[in-house]
Amino acid sequence: MKKDIGNIAVMEFKSIPAGIQVTDTIMKAAQVNLMIATTLCPGKYLTVVEGALDALDTSCRAAQSQGGRHLFSAMVIGGIDRQVIDAISGAKYVLPAGSVGIVESLQMAYLINAADITVDTAPVQFLDFRLARGCGVNSFFIITGQLSAVEEAVGQASEFLGAKGAMIASKIIPNPDPQVLRWLSSSLCAC
């Protein structure tokens, strides 16, 4: 079965006004779809666009040219699983079931790469994916599935992030207590 994939570019700015202006420039420079354009904690701006690889390369070059010292990072991520793209966009799949894995990083583009590794590694589903919204500057995702799948997926994601120097923490909770699951479900928000 062919995997449903897409391509994205992730751009982080250290200035909200610069981020908004450069996002406008990006949209005029290349034929891309705007997935996310939002402020982040504290005082940062995030732009994520989807499209063909050549258009995404053009977007990143425009961000580097126009963003100057306000551009924190810009990266194209090709061949990413559609489940990851949907999770970044705020789509939630299932209520927690089985085991839960949480992976946290400071670097958003690397975290997105790590998320793609998780779904390539094992049959897991996303519960939440937060890119520095409502949680300071840290970004994280939460996955669920059978314990062995969650262990393998979190292990591979953690190894990748560790090699990039972008790992903060990861945890696996086998068969979480029902009360923890209730609070986990109620804390999943788009803030």
Q: pTM surpassing 0.75? A: yes
Distance CA 68, CA 75 (A): 15
Q: Do 5-82 and 92-187 fold alike per CATH?
A: yes
Q: For residue 102, count other CB atoms closer than 10 A to its CB.
A: 18
Convert the pLDDT of each residue in 68-103 to its tens digit: 999 988 999 999 988 888 888 776 655 666 899 999
CA angle 138, 184, 122 (to 5 degrees): 75
Determine the pLDDT at residue 23. Answer: 92
Q: What is the largest CA-CA distance in the chain?
A: 50
Superfamily per CATH, domain 5-82: BMC (bacterial microcompartment) domain (3.30.70.1710)
Boundaries of every domain in the chain: 5-82, 92-187
| Domain 92-187 classification at class level | alpha beta
